[in-house]
Structure 1
């Protein structure tokens, strides 16, 4: 889901010549609001599954906690600030220059990396059984 929403569907939307920037941004903010709620559910579910599986190392638990921290940062700080910026653009105003979008991309890349590490650790454990 993370790769599909953040790295495929979202950039592709901006390639559609018939979609204006304000409309694309409005669709994006609604998409990411819903996606963040789903990420919360998946982060909690993943942590429960990992805890119930009694992992031998703390890598999977730490990874799940790191992902949950990233999701919390998105929900409580980054998405609200980005939503304000989108609101300004939709209203026809230009927000001040900011690196917040790059911060969001960095967090998404970090989430993807941590999820890959968790998958590798769990997959290796399952393969050794």
Structure 2
């Protein structure tokens, strides 16, 4: 049986992918189909869930970085680009997309309607980029050992 020095990173990568797929691609739109869930209630739940997801994503990102450093792998190497792209996307979400979407949700929760926006499309695009890159990175981790 072959072992790997990237066990923590591999587990973190695939858990990260699972969290993003479960929340962003399934829970996000399903909650609005549940009986009795109004738009303000769904948005309130969504804000809490996506804040928690964001914290978990940072945890996974930190665990991956720690494993790469502890394994004496040159973390800034070109082969880790598939890790740094999701990290960049996570920064974009944390400091721009989530706060902007939060503000829009608050407007809806208060009974008003904000102007039309394409922010949700950007968010979904960023999630797709993260999942694709993390999948590539996770597979590369298996072959690096």
* TM-score band w.r.t. shorter chain: 0.7 to 0.9
Paired residues for 1:87-126 under 5 Å:
87-126=106-145
- Asked if 1:31 corresponds to 2:49, the answer is yes
- Show structure 1 runs of 5+ residues with no match: none
How many residues are aligned here?
Answer: 125
Instruction: Report the Cα distance in structure 1 between the residues aligned to 2:21 and 2:93, rounded to whole angstroms.
Output: 16
Give the equivalent residue in structure 2 for 1:9: 27
TM-score (norm 2): 0.79
Deviations 1:53-104 (A, max 9, x none): 326x632x22222211111111111111101100000011000000000000
Question: In structure 2, which of residues 58, 68, 78 is the aligned counterpart of residue 58 of structure 1?
Answer: 78
Deviation at 1:51, TM superposition (A): 3.4
CA contact (8 A) 1:47 1:65 kept: no
Deviation at 1:125, TM superposition (A): 3.1
TM-score (norm 1): 0.88
- Show structure 2 runs of 5+ residues with no match: 1-18
